[in-house]
Amino acid sequence: MNAGWLDWFAQASHALDAAGMDAHTLLTFVLMGVLTMVARSFFFMSDREWTMPQWAQRGLHYAPIAALTSVVVPEVVMTNGQFIHSLEDARLAAMAAGALYFFWRKGQGQAVLGTIVAGMAVYLPLHIGLGW
């Protein structure tokens, strides 16, 4: 690293102090940024030759959809950590509308964009209008 960056960093740090942010918080954010890079590059940071076992390579084909469902399903069927008790929920209706659009278009063209638009077209009136 060269001194220019360090100077820049020190100056930025002073500016932030003036704006009410301390060096400890700034350092935490920088390290979090490094962690973002490390996590996303974890298995290709090193130049060393390294092959994954066959079963692990095959397993990766099921991981992306699993990760998405793991994020999406709790966001749709849970509120504050509790399973929902009512079907009068704007999220369920919006997910159904989005899925209907996607499969009606057979996933062609901008089907994901259409899924968002169809879903929000159902979600916003139900959520803001009816309080679902």
Q: How far is the CB of 7 from other proteins (least distance, A)?
A: 18
Residues 22 to 51 in contact with other proteins, rule: CB under 8 A: 24-33, 35-37, 39-45, 47, 50
Is 102 a binding residue for other proteins by CB under 8 A? The answer is yes
CB 119 within 8 A of CB 98: yes
Q: What is the DSSP string of 82-118?
A: EE---S--HHHHHHHHHHHHHHHTTT-SSHHHHHHHH
Strand residues in 1-132 grouped as ranges (E): 78-79, 82-83
Closest approach, Cβ 6 to other proteins, in A, equals: 16
**Which of 6, 7, 67, 104 contacts other proteins by CB under 8 A?**
67
- Taking the complex as a whole, how short is the minimal distance between the CB of residue 61 and other proteins, in angstroms? 5
Residue number, 10 or 30, with CB nearest to other proteins: 30
- Residue (of 66, 111, 115, 67) closest to 94 by Cα position: 115
11 or 28: whose CB is closer to other proteins? 28
Kindly state whether residue 93 participates in binding other proteins, applying the rule CB under 8 A.
no
A 10 A CB-CB count for 89 gives 17
Reduced to 3 states (helix: H, G, I; strand: E, B; else coil), residue 51 is coil
Q: Counting contacts by CB under 8 A, is residue 64 touching other proteins?
A: yes
Min CB(88)–other proteins separation in Å? 15
